[in-house]
């Protein structure tokens, strides 16, 4: 249903009139250091977010994610409204970098500072989208925010993945406010990744006097490495790479033990399942007699599959963007993981990279295009105003 000029003007004018306030919040968030590796700092940022969202009328709950990880925040605006909620998701932690990286805007109208792009800018945008819709009197369905504080460490040690799978379901759609891309594309898929540890056990023996009695764990590992790396399928965006290796005990003994770590990246859930199944089979089949092999896998990020629902949501956002004058938005598959994967696995169609646009995450060169904050906020607010059309398709 075409939106009236009256409600669009209310939303757009509100965003324009609060430009200085939006930038001030952006600066406040970036200047609040929230390294993923420092729980105290991350929790401080979570409390700032909770306070901001309470101010606009959200019901907010902080969840403990363990002794090392920042809190997870669930906030719902309009909890009593009918209909499935629209979700805005993301992480407020930043990758640790040495030194100070305060917020500033340069002469080319680019914002700088640790996390300005990845991804505090996207969180600021989500909050002001909700404020603009609220100011315009839009109350058709709930808006839910899910912000977590340990994405940059892969949610290790805590319960964040479970939190996202538990609270990320039941939505009509979700926008993961990760780094927006310079070419304005929508991310509809990402690699998942994990790490495996493979350990071979052999039989130690003096390499001169008792050579024939030894069973080399390193030799067995050589066979394993070739077979494991052969699981790579570039057409399916899957790579398997042995990245570190250790073996042996002393220089004059047949090595009784060898271990390696394996970096595994998957283009889809099906690829993840294939690789893990094949890797387990390879590790059970030993070539060198009297050797045994152990295989342990730890998933870091689940694959973000470009399902039909994901592609339909991306098409709807692109159509709305074009119809209301914000321009064409392409599609892209990215190598790095994000929490969009867990929101999708929870059952809510999700698209990623919907935050401010820029480049050079995780580095001192990180920047965001300031104007994209306001352009994207208006565009996504328009998408939410039109979201009933997506539900009714």
Token output for 31? 């200047």
- Whole-number pLDDT of residue 337: 86
Distance CA 233, CA 231 (A): 6
Under DSSP, the state recorded for 275 is: H
Residue 129 C-beta-side C-alpha neighbours within 13 Å = 30
Helix pair angle (120-135, 5-17), 10° resolution: 130
Sheet with 350-351, strands from edge to edge, namely 59-63, 72-77, 143-148, 86-91, 173-176, 350-351
Task: Note if the bond before 119 is cis, omega within 30 degrees.
Answer: yes
| Mutual angle of helices 120-135 and 370-385, in 10-degree steps | 50
Q: Where are the domains of the chain?
A: 5-189+304-391, 192-301
Size of the chain in residues = 393
Phi–psi pair at 320, nearest 5 degrees: -65, -40
CATH 3.50.50.60 holds for 5-189+304-391: no
227 neighbors 338 (Cβ within 8 angstroms): no
Q: Does 192-301 match 5-189+304-391 at the fold level?
A: no
pLDDT for res 1: 65
Look at residues 228, 240, 220 and name the one whose alpha carbon lies nearest to residue 293: 220
357: tokens are 């646009």
CA angle 47, 53, 56 (to 5 degrees): 145
Distance from C-alpha of 325 to C-alpha of 186, rounded to nearest angstrom: 17
Backbone angles phi and psi of 266, in degrees to 5 = -125, 140
Q: What is the DSSP letter of 171?
A: -
In this structure, are residues 66 and 153 in contact, taking their beta carbons and an 8 Å threshold? no
209: which residues sit within 8 A by CB, 6+ positions away? none
* Whole-angstrom distance, CA of residue 264 vs CA of residue 244: 13
pTM: 0.90
Q: Helix H segments across the chain? A: 5-17, 19-31, 39-55, 120-135, 160-167, 217-229, 269-284, 308-323, 340-346, 370-385, 387-391
Q: Are 114 and 366 in contact (CB under 8 A)?
A: yes
Torsion of CA 72, 166, 124, 349, to 10 degrees: 160
Are 185 and 314 spatial neighbours (Cβ–Cβ below 8 Å)? no
Rounded to whole angstroms, the Cα distance separating 313 from 84 reads 15
Class of domain 192-301: alpha beta
Cα distance between residue 11 and residue 134, in whole Å: 9
- According to DSSP, the residues that pair with 345 across neighbouring strands are none
User: Tokens 């394993």 label which residue?
Assistant: 224
Q: What is the chain's pLDDT, residue by residue, as a tens digit (393 residues)?
A: 688 889 999 999 999 999 999 999 999 999 999 998 899 999 999 999 999 999 999 999 999 999 999 999 999 999 999 999 999 999 999 998 888 899 999 999 999 999 999 999 999 999 999 999 999 999 999 999 999 999 998 898 889 999 999 999 999 999 999 999 999 999 999 999 999 999 999 999 999 999 999 999 999 999 999 999 999 999 999 999 999 999 999 999 999 999 999 999 998 999 999 999 999 999 999 999 999 999 999 998 999 988 999 999 999 999 999 999 999 999 999 988 899 999 999 999 999 999 999 999 989 999 999 999 999 999 999 999 999 999 987
Look up residue 160 and give its two tokens. 């964040």
């Amino acid at each position: 249903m075409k939106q009236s000029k009256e409600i669009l003007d209310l939303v757009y004018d509100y965003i324009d009139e609060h430009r200085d306030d939006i930038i001030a919040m952006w600066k406040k968030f970036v200047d609040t250091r929230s390294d993923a590796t420092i729980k105290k700092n991350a929790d401080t940022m979570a409390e700032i977010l909770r306070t901001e969202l309470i101010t606009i009328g959200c019901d907010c709950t902080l969840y403990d994610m363990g002794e090392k990880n920042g809190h997870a925040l669930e906030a719902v605006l309009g909890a009593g409204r009918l209909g499935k909620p629209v979700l805005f998701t993301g992480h407020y932690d930043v990758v640790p970098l040495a030194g100070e990286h305060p917020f500033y805007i340069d002469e080319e109208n680019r914002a700088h500072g640790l996390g300005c792009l990845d991804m505090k800018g996207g969180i600021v945008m989500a909050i002001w989208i909700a404020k603009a819709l609220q100011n315009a009197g839009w109350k058709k369905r709930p808006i839910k925010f899910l912000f977590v504080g340990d994405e940059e460490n892969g949610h290790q040690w805590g319960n964040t993945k479970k939190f996202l799978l538990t609270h990320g379901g039941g939505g009509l759609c979700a926008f993961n406010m990760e780094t927006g891309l310079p070419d304005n594309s929508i991310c509809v898929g990402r690699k998942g990744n994990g790490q495996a540890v493979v350990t071979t056990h052999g039989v130690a023996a003096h390499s001169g006097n008792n050579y024939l009695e030894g069973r080399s764990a390193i030799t067995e590992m050589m066979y394993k490495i070739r077979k494991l790396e052969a699981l790579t399928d570039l057409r399916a965006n899957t790579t398997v790479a042995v990245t570190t290796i250790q073996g042996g005990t002393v220089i004059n003994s047949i090595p009784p033990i060898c271990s390696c770590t394996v970096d595994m990246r998957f283009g889809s859930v099906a690829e993840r399942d294939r690789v893990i199944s094949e890797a387990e089979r390879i590790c059970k089949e030993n070539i060198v007699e009297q050797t045994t092999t152990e295989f342990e896998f730890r998933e870091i990020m689940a694959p973000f599959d470009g399902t039909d629902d994901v592609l339909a949501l991306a098409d709807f956002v692109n159509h709305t963007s074009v119809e209301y004058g914000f321009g064409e938005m392409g599609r892209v598959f990215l190598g790095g993981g994000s929490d969009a994967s867990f929101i999708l696995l929870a059952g809510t169609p999700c698209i990623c990279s919907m935050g401010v646009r820029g480049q050079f995450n995780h580095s001192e060169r990180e920047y965001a295009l300031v104007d994209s904050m306001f352009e994207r906020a208006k565009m996504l607010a328009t998408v939410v105003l039109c979201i009933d059309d997506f539900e009714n398709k």
